[in-house]
Every structure is written in C-alpha cells, then in structure tokens.
A and B are shown apart, each in its own frame.
Chain A
Amino acid sequence: MARRALWRVGAAKDAVPRLAHLDQDRPLVLAAQRDPARFDALYRRYLARVYSYAYYELGDHHAAEDATEATFVAALTNLSQFQERARPADGDGASTFRVWLFQIARNEIAGERRRARRRPLEPIGEMIIADPLNVEDEAVRRDQAREAWRAVGRLPGERRQAMVLRFVDELSTAEIAGVLGRSEGAVRVLIHRALRSVARDLKGGERGNGERGRTS
C-alpha cells in the first residue's frame, strides 16, 4: 500500500519543509536502475544517514560500518526490484526509496546484532546500552545531549529506533511506519510515549543529580 512519505504541516502552509529533498530521489533511482554506476549519487546522499542509524543502534564504529556496507551493497544489487510506490497524491516530494533503503538497513543492523551476540568482543551489557556520544566526547561536549541520548538509549527497541529515525535521520512518521512495518498512528503513539518517557527520565535524573549535589 502506498504511504504518504511527507507529512504536510497544515498549520504552517508557507513553511518549506526540510524534508523536501525527497523529490530528488526519483530521477536518481531511475538513472541507477538504467546504469548501476549511477548509484553513487544515491550512496553519497544517504551514507551519513544510514551510518548514523547503524551507529546509534549498534554503538560501535566497526559494526556500524559493516552494517552500512551490507546495506548499500544489498540496495545496489536489488535496485532493479525496487518499485516507486508513492502516488502523485502523496505530493511532489514523496518517495519510497528512503523507506526501502532504511528497511534494508534495519535488517542488516538486526543481523549485525545477532552476529555480535554470537561472538561478543565486549560485555553484552556494554553493547546493549550503547552510548555513541561517549566515543565522540571530543566532538560533542554536551552533557545535556549525552543525558538525552542515554535516556533514548534506555527505551525499548522500536521506540528507540523510531526516535533515532525521527530526530537523527529526520524521516517523517509515514516513512518510519514503512520502515518499522507499523501503521502511521501506531508510530505517532510510539514517539509520543517515547518523548514523555524520556522527559520523565531526564526530569528524574536531573532531580537526582540536584539532590546528590545538595548532599555532597
């Protein structure tokens, strides 16, 4: 079933959505289907997004690279099977290529997790509670961001994935629904609950820190 890939904000009709770059996918996909060498443009466009998704999920640069590589190779070799299912009614910018690509990425990340469980190189607890911001301490010196990510990292699987896809990869709710195989309504509720949970978690953490600060 075709899904709306770009939610239009009714209140801000004049706003130019930052997600409007989707309309550039279609010609690139068609070109790559005709000539696989043209896939490079799609690869460059989505490399950071796919890699970020993998890194936030796996918490390890090498594992994220492996998942990213597998994702793009699978996408290229199966590109002839991809069919654009967005309809004109979905808007000029609608594209299902991103959804398709992130579905592949999600599968590859799940596979990478399974492989990591079979041959753990570090304590499993460390891997499950991955904290990418720890690795990037020098680049990201934001305690608040780290706390926020930790709170997101403590969310159960699908809620966490939905949050990363929404806030880091900036996918629309409809696109996330396509990636996770859920309805749009279910994804909206998932994200809403995740936000409330993270807000509660952070509030509790900050209160705890404040109390610890007072007692020390």
Chain B
Amino acid sequence: MTVHRRDVGEIEALITDRYLDSLLAVQPVDDDRLLGAPGFTVSAAVREISRRLSADLPRFHPSFRFEERLALRLAEVAAAMRLSVAAGGEGQPVAIRRITPVAQDPLVVLDDAELDGRVPPRPILIGGAVAASALSLAGAWLAWRRRTSPMARAVRAAHAMRQSGT
C-alpha cells in the first residue's frame, strides 16, 4: 500500500499532536515507536521548538485590581439576572384553569365521558407583570424597613408615634 504525500503530512501532524499531548502532560514521549505510527518520527527541530514553547511561553494574569473590579461587575450582572428571573422576565407564562360550570367543585374528578362535547376551559395567561409589581412593592417595603440611617430611624419613629396616637 502506498502512502500519498498528503497522507504523510497528516500522519506527521498526528504524531506531532500526540507528542504535544505527552509534552503538555509533563510526560514527553521520546521514543517515536510509542506514538503509534511506525516508520514516522517527530523531527528533532519540532521537538526542540515544542519544548521551548511549552516551557518558556508564560501565562499572564491581569492585575488583582482588574480581577476584583470585573468580579464585582459580574456579581452586579448576576444580581440583575436573578431579579429578572424572579420577576418572571425569563419564566414561562403560567396557565391557570378557569373553573367552569362543568366542575363547580375543583376536587371533583371528572370522567372523560363527562367532558365530551364540552368546551375545554380556556387558560388564562399571566406574564411577569403581576409578579413584578408584587416583587417591587415587597422590595420597597423591605428596603424601607431595613434602612438604618438616622433619618430612616427618625421617620420610622415618627410613623410609629403617629399610629399609636401619641
């Protein structure tokens, strides 16, 4: 069987790749016979440059200031994403079945025969709007309750006094 020139290039590339795998695994294979392509070798020049590049090319790390700044930004993005999910921004609309005269008691299980010929209940879709409004109100209330500034404490005290009628 003859090996075409193109195939030779691909086989050489393959055993070079296997050699690089072993080199990057810190266990370089120096015996070409172990690379799985008898009759083919990784040239000394390729071995030499591969060793140099794997040993000498450094991996850079950005400054810690940048790292922490980006971490903070990602945390903000994550918080915004969580909020939008909680508000139903990325959720699926919820289908709620309307109680029809067919089943006045929601706990009654109907047979298929009883449902035959009757219009199935139309689902009511509720998007994120209601949930978002409720969440906003809850958030505003919580923020008001949790504020610990002197002004907030004074406002709360005045509010409490007004409610107690003193």
Q: Which residues of A contact B (CB under 8 A)?
A: 7, 9-12, 15-19, 35-37, 39-40, 43-44, 47-49, 51-52, 55-56, 61, 64-65, 68-69, 72-73, 76-77, 80, 132-133, 136, 139-140, 142, 144-145, 148-149, 152, 163-164, 166-170, 172-173, 185, 188-189, 191-193, 195-196, 198-200, 202-203
B43, B54, B90: the one within 8 Å of A167 (CB): B54
> Can you list, as one digit per residue, whether each of B66-110 has a CB less than 8 Å from chain A (1) or not (0)?
110011011101110110000000100000000000000000000
Residues of A close to B57: CB separation below 8 A: 145, 148-149, 152, 164, 167-168
Whether B24 lies near A142 (C-beta < 8 A) is no
Which of B16, B56, B81 has the largest count of A CB atoms less than 10 A from its CB? B56
23 A-B pairs with CB atoms under 8 Å apart are A15-B22, A15-B27, A17-B21, A17-B24, A51-B61, A69-B70, A73-B73, A76-B74, A140-B58, A145-B57, A148-B52, A148-B56, A148-B57, A149-B57, A152-B53, A172-B21, A188-B10, A192-B12, A192-B16, A198-B53, A199-B43, A199-B46, A202-B49
Whether B45 lies near A12 (C-beta < 8 A) is no
Whether A191 lies near B59 (C-beta < 8 A) is no
Which of A188, A189, A193 has the largest count of B CB atoms less than 10 A from its CB? A188
Whether B59 lies near A48 (C-beta < 8 A) is yes
- Stretch from B28-36, B127-135, B152-160 forming part of the interface with A: B28-36
Whether B62 lies near A51 (C-beta < 8 A) is yes
Residues of B close to A16: CB separation below 8 A: 25
A148 touching B18 in the complex, CB below 8 Å, given contacts A40-B75, A76-B77, A189-B13: no
Measured CA separation A133–B56 after assembly (Å): 11
Whether B16 lies near A191 (C-beta < 8 A) is yes
B17, B25, B56, B75: the one within 8 Å of A191 (CB): B17
Q: Verify if B141 is at the interface (C-beta below 8 Å from A).
A: no
Q: List CB contacts (< 8 Å) of B1-29 with chain A.
A: 9-10, 12-14, 16-18, 20-22, 24-27, 29
Residues of A close to B41: CB separation below 8 A: none
Q: Verify if B114 is at the interface (C-beta below 8 Å from A).
A: no
Q: How far is the CB of B31 from chain A (nearest CB, A)?
A: 8
Task: Determine the residue in chain A with the shortest Cβ distance to B59.
Answer: A52
Measured CA separation A213–B37 after assembly (Å): 42
Task: Determine the residue in chain A with the shortest Cβ distance to B16.
Answer: A192
Residues of B close to A17: CB separation below 8 A: 21, 24-25
Task: Determine the residue in chain A with the shortest Cβ distance to B52.
Answer: A148
Whether B49 lies near A199 (C-beta < 8 A) is yes
A39, A133, A144, A202: the one within 8 Å of B74 (CB): A39
Q: How far is the CB of A139 from chain B (nearest CB, A)?
A: 7
Task: Determine the residue in chain A with the shortest Cβ distance to B61.
Answer: A48
Which of A11, A36, A169, A202 has the largest count of B CB atoms less than 10 A from its CB? A11
